[in-house]
Structure 1
Amino acid sequence: MIAYLFPGQGAQVKGMGEGLFDEFPALVAKADAVLGYSIQKLCLEDPAKQLGQTDFTQPALFVVNALSYLKKIRETGRKPDYVAGHSLGEYNALFAAEAFDFETGLKLVQKRGELMARAAGGGMAAVLGLKEEVFREVMEKNKLIELDVANFNSPSQIVISGPKDMIEQVKPIFEDAGARNYVVLNVSGAFHSRYMENARQKFEAYAASFEFSKIKIPVISNVHARPYKQQDLRSTLINQIVSPVKWSESIRYLMGKRITQFIQIGPGNVVAGLVNAIQREAEPLILTEAEDRTEQVGEGMSKETLGSDDSTSVKQQVPLPKPEHDVPASGKRFTAESLGHSEFKQDYGIKYAYLIGSMYKGISSKEMVVKAGKAGMMGFFGAGGVKMDALEEAIKYIQKELNRGEAYGMNLIHVPDHPDIENNIVDLYIKYGVRNIEASAFMSITPSLVRYRLKGLRRNEKGSVTPQNRIIAKVSRPEVVEAFLSPAPQNIINKLLAENRISREEAMMGMEIPMVDDLCVEADSGGHTDHAVAYVLVPLMLQMRDEAIRKYKYNKSIRVGAAGGIGTPQAASAAFILGADFIMTGSINQCTVEAGTSDEVKDLLQQLNIQDTDYAPAGDMFEMGAKVQVMKKGVFFPARANKLYDLYRNYNSIDEIDRETKHYIEEKYFKKSIEQVYEDIKAYYPPEIIEKAERIPKRKMALIFRWYFTYSTRLAINGDKKNRVDYQVHCGPALGAFNQWVKGTALENWKNRHVDDIGQKIMAATAEHLNERFKALTASLTI
């Protein structure tokens, strides 16, 4: 059994890769094209003394490691049984496992190095000669909360990260505790720590546009010291930037796998030296047979890897918790009030397990939220894109109208480019005591979410942690679900604690509860959507929920609801039968009296059928290629939006586009010149955004095209009749189904549609439909 190990930053040396570049000329040429300079000249000659700079070091090491691996395979004709890499080297391990090709890996590493190089004011130091338990005692005793562990390199070598002045000040503390040596490292930032969160967020946005392939060789991750799981590949790689490198545990895991040869691939011998130290000082990490089988299945390995016996290739099924739904016994019937999870309704003080989801720009209006609350439901105000003063007024209005304990919530949408917007909104919610939020479009846990969740934590009379701020997260991806089902990330807690944004007590209690009270599975829907299918998502999320409760030993259930595609009683029935604890509607509420959009939009929406929606680029995630589902009947927006994205993909600047095409866009799309559009942009965006656009022509083109998305939304909300064809209206097929359901009734006309009436009618009809299905199914039972 052989494991190949790849070194990370620190292994670079002038002259590395000599002889390799001539063996792989095609890959070297590809590297030069990606990087914009000669990789061979950098590695062999380093004429400008750049090899030691992070943004040059990381691409150089990736290339040399990759070529070294390919040469090794060419020479031996055998691939390893396992691969691992120290920090940067993990990208080479994933390349060896065919998770991505050479060019993709190099682009990711180049961006990673660029972002890490920007980190300033931080430092790192190696603490030698202290065992981990002694090291942790020193940290706790001296309250070194500003420092993070960056690397567990070996049982007696731990690397710390933190503010540069702090790194230098604590040297005597560790030396007095018995450290054999304390070495301040020559690095530009506090790598693998909470202080890299900004780099992590930007890297996450960049990595979102890349696709990954199936892992062919088990890769041991730095974050978990266990094999990568295919479904978690992207999130694990992203979080590596802020997580400690668990190198010692990774090697112990491989030792437990009976690895007989650890072979370093790449320059130097640092990794090989660490392996020798770990083998001397630590025992193999031996997993039980059940643990091992579970991890292997989790990796997405083939049945052949596990053995041909089907009984060994499937996880043992663990009984799921008993449902909390009120299921009718013989002679009883479902009612609108009995549907859903009883504890869920009790916690939120609602009569129906029915929520009204948020729609941005206040389309799910304050009037809509109040109407739902007074009817025993809960609605969420669409805070996305709403200015702070208007958002504050909405909160005041809702709290004034719902002053008897009725339920209401506010939306918190992820804003990847502007985390300050999230923070400001959370400040407002905390100030006004908003207790329920709907978290949407989050790809990972952010500091603003953690701060909201942990603020005001307390223990009840039984000693259990009780949050005062509830989060219902709208989710459609397993890796995001896992993050929300887990306690708040330690690195974020540490950061908030160091900034005095939470108390030490809140930080400690935050580790005992999940990030959410409830999850809402979002299948194919209006607006941002992953095109997911409810029949697939709901059972998976229920399983993940149950596994998380067992894993973390939570003392309270996490409810799972369903959203997307729910516009009829039959669809709602399907959600409850799948196991949903509650349902959330969206598109159908946009065509109501209370919706905060124009009558012109409502007139169009009333005419939709299920086939009258399409997919278009998302304006807020334009460069990433994210999609939203929108109305297509009667408008040109989907076609025009997709045309703009095609131009963005095919050209590097607005100036490259031919004159005729630009003139057509100005006349038909923008109704003004591109120069005028750019002047509008300059007046809106902060100077640093404009400065970047001036330096990067493709970024400037993206801003110009994104203007159209803001413009088209404004046209729709304002009801601009002259430019109706450019309306951008987020909508899913559920509205088309609802229109067909109410055809021939008073609700056919949107002017008779009120969100409370719609909710009550759907829940009542759903109960009746379930009663009919229950009766039909039980009638066919044989005794």
Structure 2
Amino acid sequence: MKAYVFPGQGSQYKGMGKELFEEFPELVLSADKILGYSIKALCLDDPDSKLGFTNYTQPALYTVNALTYLKKCKDSNETPDFVAGHSLGEYNALHAAGAFDFETGLRLVQKRGELMSQATGGGMAAIIGLKEKEIRDILLKERLEQIDIANLNCPSQIVISGPKEYILQAKPIFESNPGVKLYSMLNVSGAFHSRYMKESGKLFEQFMDSFAFDSLKIPVMANVSARPYKLTDIKSNLVKQITHSVQWTETICFLMGLGDITFEEIGMGKTLTGLLRYIKSEAQPLVLGAKEYDMYFAGTVAEGQNKEAKAAEQGLEKADKMQSIEITDATLGSEAFKRRYHLRYAYIAGAMYRGVSSKELVVKMGKAGMLGFLGMGGLSLSEIEEAINYIQRELNHDQTYGMNFLYDPANPEKEERVIDLYFRYGINIIEASAFMGVTSALIRYKAKGLRRNERGIIESNNKIIAKISRPEVAEAFMSPAPKRLVDKLLSEGKITEEEAIMLKEIPVANDLCVEADSGGHTDCGVSYTLLPAILKLRNDMMEKFKYSEKVHIGAAGGIGTPEAAGASFVLGADFIVTGSINQCTVEAGTSTIVKELLQQMNVQDTDYAPAGDMFEFGAKVQVLKKGLFFPARANKLYDLYRQFNSIEEIDHKTRTQIQEKYFKRSFESIYEELKNYYSTEEIMKADKNPKQKMAMIFKWYFHYSSKSALAGDIDSKVDYQVHCGPALGAFNQWMKGTIYESWQNRHVDEIALLMLKETASFLNNRFQLMKAFI
């Protein structure tokens, strides 16, 4: 393995980078525009003697380090397995890993240097010869608690930081210690990497609010923790770095503990190369246990660290190697998929209508290292916004969540309003559900998260996971955005020309979820036939369009037992999505009565009924039928809609039955109520079109039946509309005789982890059994 390390402030010198500026003229020009002065002149000639000032040093070093890295990539055509940077160098590590482009990194570094240069009254000193504990003991004994440890460069070279008078006061104390070889005051104006930079950290945090960061293509080691970054750590770590110690010794020990690793310093000088020699001679590798290894690398591991895992991802491993690999809950599914979404497990809790997949459910999943989607269908914008606020308050920056985005053919304006809401709150993962094709709102969402990095590769910040159950819909989502829609958005000024160009080179969806026998919108598909067909289609589309990033394919529908989950992974699913089993948990946003009904169901207790939101199109959803009249009544309404052009054409007896038994209200009173929810224009159309009016009245029943179920209205129990697939019946049978037999003991994260653990066990046992027949 190979790790690239980038030096920080102190490695600068006049004349640095002279062989680089002519090779990257466009980046140099960009740097000049951002900085307002010639970066080449500063580095090569330093005409005004500013290179030693922090606000100039940091942009200069960042630029030269970045150009050195790009030249290295260009000349060697190789990618490191890890990257790390010392203090300022961490920005170069993040740039190398794809967190941001060159220009974004320079803007951040420019602001960082500006804020740090404004710090006054502080001092720093390097102490050579003592270990960290010895220095802390002296500071404690001499009552120098105002001094912080700033840089742990190697076991015997440590930098302290604090108010200048205390750094000066400490000088004779340390110099009198026989173990100290050198106490060197550093030429700085501030107490960098200490508590005294708190105000600078706050201002830098405010500055970063306008920045978004992209997926890390290479694991990056963090100064503040000496552990690998996750995407959502970037802002918080860069703020903490200003006020916290640089844990360089532990960073290198951590990397050494991963195995045979070569370090290469990228940038100016050999400062870090020298420190590496000391660390290797004075410290031991930090060897991780299996559990800790999974904790850090389940979602972010570089493919190079685990050769067997890398081979498995590419499908190149030999049968004898496969037999020796022990499957775990964390190794199920695609590592690349988990890295893309910063997950520990390849497991998603899919969205369920009207917040049944609740904000509490989403938070539980995020905290457990999985992904949950809020079910926004049927919710008002204010309800969605309230849920987003809750989720963002409850989850940390490194915990993933997403929002559902439901196709609304009758109200495309609402799609646009929802997307605007998602933009406002920085929602960068959505689950596109029930779409029969691509819409303008989806394209706009995708476009606004695109950028082209310095290598020319298009990267997407706003990610779409599309649920599909038909090959032609899958093909639409795996194709570039339709030209007519892109041109329309461009002409309306909703996207830029650059975004329009980039949309031609990438698929609409980042990944797909193949939804078979589920409780959502489905075409009664069967996983065993649908999933392989979509996987083949994915491969064909990847070849056709030469996409640079893989479209991952997940499986949903029918997954209620470890055997079903295992079958999905064996068929080739990169991840799995559950829905029905989550509806019968503590966190599900439905009534206690519904959960009790669901707890009693078996695999045969579901039926198909018209989808209320797509009633006119004949779309179907799967619902609970045991003890309920809803499926039969809903299908009856759709049959009447197909047969007749108006309510008046229906015979008197049937009309009376619907009003008295189904609706418990008259058609007229319902229509009057609907006038409060539909626009004046829509009501006018319905007045002129009896069939449209009939559809509106019949669709009221679907809203009523869903609302009654969610509220637990006992008087309307037989009319409950409860979306559910047979997977829950299988899950109930699996849970019989355990503590999870009762829904009150089912928490969405716990049953997910149980599912994954037992799936791994099931697959290990099956493979062992198969091995016995070889």
Q: TM-score range by the shorter chain?
A: 0.5 to 0.7
- Tell me what 2:657 maps to: 664
Q: Which among 364, 389, 392 is matched to residue 385 of structure 2? A: 392
Q: Deviations over 1:459-497 (max 9, x none)?
A: 223220001100000011111111111111111111111
Give the C-alpha shift of residue 365 in structure 1.
Answer: 0.4
Give the C-alpha shift of residue 321 in structure 1.
Answer: 9.0
Look up the SS of the partner of 2:324 in the other structure. Answer: coil
Give the C-alpha shift of residue 360 in structure 1.
Answer: 1.1
- Tell me what 1:119 maps to: none
1:343-358 matches, cutoff 5 A:
343-358=336-351
Q: Does 1:572 align with 2:565?
A: yes
- Tell me what 1:722 maps to: 715
Q: Does 1:761 align with 2:719?
A: no
- Tell me what 2:618 maps to: 625
Look up the SS of the partner of 2:626 in the other structure. Answer: coil
User: Structure 2 CA distance, aligned partners of 1:651 and 1:673?
Assistant: 19
Gaps of 5+ in 2: 1-311
Look up the SS of the partner of 2:607 in the other structure. Answer: strand
User: Structure 2 CA distance, aligned partners of 1:353 and 1:457?
Assistant: 25
- Tell me what 1:642 maps to: 635
Give the C-alpha shift of residue 573 in structure 1.
Answer: 0.5
1:463-482 matches, cutoff 5 A:
463-482=456-475
Q: Which among 542, 545, 548 is matched to residue 541 of structure 2? A: 548
- Tell me what 2:374 maps to: 381
Q: Are the equivalent residues in 2 in contact too, given 1:522–1:564 (CA < 8 A)? A: yes
* CA RMSD, 1 decimal: 1.6
Letter in 1 for 2:329: A
Q: Does 1:322 align with 2:328?
A: no
Q: Which among 503, 506, 522 is matched to residue 499 of structure 2? A: 506
Letter in 2 for 1:435: N
1:204-353 matches, cutoff 5 A:
322-323=314-315, 329-353=322-346
User: Structure 2 CA distance, aligned partners of 1:382 and 1:724?
Assistant: 22
Look up the SS of the partner of 1:641 in the other structure. Answer: helix
Q: Are the equivalent residues in 2 in contact too, given 1:351–1:376 (CA < 8 A)? A: yes
Letter in 2 for 1:667: E
Q: Does 1:489 align with 2:489?
A: no
User: Structure 2 CA distance, aligned partners of 1:715 and 1:481?
Assistant: 34
Give the C-alpha shift of residue 660 in structure 1.
Answer: 2.3
Letter in 1 for 2:430: I
Look up the SS of the partner of 1:584 in the other structure. Answer: strand
Structure 1 range deviating more: 480-489 or 580-589: 480-489
1:582-601 matches, cutoff 5 A:
582-601=575-594
Letter in 2 for 1:424: R
Q: Which among 348, 366, 390 is matched to residue 359 of structure 2? A: 366
Give the C-alpha shift of residue 745 in structure 1.
Answer: 0.5
Letter in 2 for 1:614: D
Look up the SS of the partner of 2:721 in the other structure. Answer: coil
Structure 1 range deviating more: 701-710 or 328-337: 328-337
Look up the SS of the partner of 1:439 in the other structure. Answer: strand
User: Structure 1 CA distance, aligned partners of 2:479 and 2:519?
Assistant: 28
1:681-696 matches, cutoff 5 A:
681-696=674-689
In the superposition, relative to structure 1, how do residues 766 and 321 fare at CA in structure 2: closer, same or farther (>3 Å)? closer
- Tell me what 1:448 maps to: 441
User: Structure 1 CA distance, aligned partners of 2:317 and 2:493?
Assistant: 42
Q: Are the equivalent residues in 2 in contact too, given 1:324–1:343 (CA < 8 A)? A: no
User: Structure 1 CA distance, aligned partners of 2:444 and 2:472?
Assistant: 21
Give the C-alpha shift of residue 656 in structure 1.
Answer: 1.8
Query: Number of matched residues?
Result: 462
User: Structure 2 CA distance, aligned partners of 1:780 and 1:321?
Assistant: 26
User: Structure 2 CA distance, aligned partners of 1:558 and 1:735?
Assistant: 29
User: Structure 1 CA distance, aligned partners of 2:608 and 2:424?
Assistant: 38
- Tell me what 2:706 maps to: 713
In the superposition, relative to structure 1, how do residues 402 and 324 fare at CA in structure 2: closer, same or farther (>3 Å)? farther
User: Structure 2 CA distance, aligned partners of 1:545 and 1:470?
Assistant: 17
- Tell me what 2:727 maps to: 734
Q: Which among 653, 671, 677 is matched to residue 678 of structure 1? A: 671
User: Structure 2 CA distance, aligned partners of 1:751 and 1:333?
Assistant: 33
User: Structure 2 CA distance, aligned partners of 1:439 and 1:646?
Assistant: 29
Q: Are the equivalent residues in 1 in contact too, given 2:404–2:433 (CA < 8 A)? A: yes
Give the C-alpha shift of residue 528 in structure 1.
Answer: 1.7
Letter in 2 for 1:593: V
Q: Deviations over 1:577-610 (max 9, x none)?
A: 0000000001000000000010110010000000
User: Structure 2 CA distance, aligned partners of 1:325 and 1:524?
Assistant: 32
User: Structure 2 CA distance, aligned partners of 1:698 and 1:574?
Assistant: 45
Look up the SS of the partner of 1:361 in the other structure. Answer: helix
1:192-203 matches, cutoff 5 A:
none
Q: Does 1:697 align with 2:690?
A: yes
Look up the SS of the partner of 1:527 in the other structure. Answer: coil
Letter in 2 for 1:565: G
Q: Which among 523, 528, 531 is matched to residue 530 of structure 1? A: 523
Q: Does 1:431 align with 2:424?
A: yes
Give the C-alpha shift of residue 558 in structure 1.
Answer: 0.9
User: Structure 1 CA distance, aligned partners of 2:313 and 2:584?
Assistant: 38
Give the C-alpha shift of residue 649 in structure 1.
Answer: 2.1
Q: Are the equivalent residues in 2 in contact too, given 1:608–1:736 (CA < 8 A)? A: yes
User: Structure 1 CA distance, aligned partners of 2:515 and 2:700?
Assistant: 28
User: Structure 2 CA distance, aligned partners of 1:456 and 1:584?
Assistant: 25
User: Structure 1 CA distance, aligned partners of 2:449 and 2:371?
Assistant: 23
Give the C-alpha shift of residue 631 in structure 1.
Answer: 0.3
- Tell me what 2:609 maps to: 616
Give the C-alpha shift of residue 689 in structure 1.
Answer: 1.4
User: Structure 2 CA distance, aligned partners of 1:671 and 1:598?
Assistant: 22
Give the C-alpha shift of residue 762 in structure 1.
Answer: 0.3
User: Structure 1 CA distance, aligned partners of 2:339 and 2:639?
Assistant: 49
Look up the SS of the partner of 2:554 in the other structure. Answer: strand
User: Structure 1 CA distance, aligned partners of 2:520 and 2:474?
Assistant: 20
In the superposition, relative to structure 1, how do residues 584 and 323 fare at CA in structure 2: closer, same or farther (>3 Å)? farther
> What TM-score do the two structures reach when normalised by structure 1?
0.58
Q: Are the equivalent residues in 2 in contact too, given 1:326–1:342 (CA < 8 A)? A: no
User: Structure 1 CA distance, aligned partners of 2:459 and 2:528?
Assistant: 33
Give the C-alpha shift of residue 624 in structure 1.
Answer: 2.0
User: Structure 1 CA distance, aligned partners of 2:688 and 2:317?
Assistant: 58
Q: Deviations over 1:404-449 (max 9, x none)?
A: 3211110001101110011011111111110100001111111000
Letter in 2 for 1:694: D
User: Structure 1 CA distance, aligned partners of 2:641 and 2:490?
Assistant: 42
Q: Deviations over 1:94-137 (max 9, x none)?
A: xxxxxxxxxxxxxxxxxxxxxxxxxxxxxxxxxxxxxxxxxxxx
Q: Are the equivalent residues in 2 in contact too, given 1:364–1:590 (CA < 8 A)? A: yes
Q: Deviations over 1:479-531 (max 9, x none)?
A: 11111111111111111111111111111111111111111100111032100
Look up the SS of the partner of 1:756 in the other structure. Answer: helix
Gaps of 5+ in 1: 1-319
Look up the SS of the partner of 1:380 in the other structure. Answer: strand
Determine which structure has more spread, i.e. the larger CA radius of gyration.
2
Letter in 1 for 2:528: Y
Look up the SS of the partner of 2:518 in the other structure. Answer: coil
Q: Does 1:561 align with 2:554?
A: yes
Give the C-alpha shift of residue 347 in structure 1.
Answer: 1.3
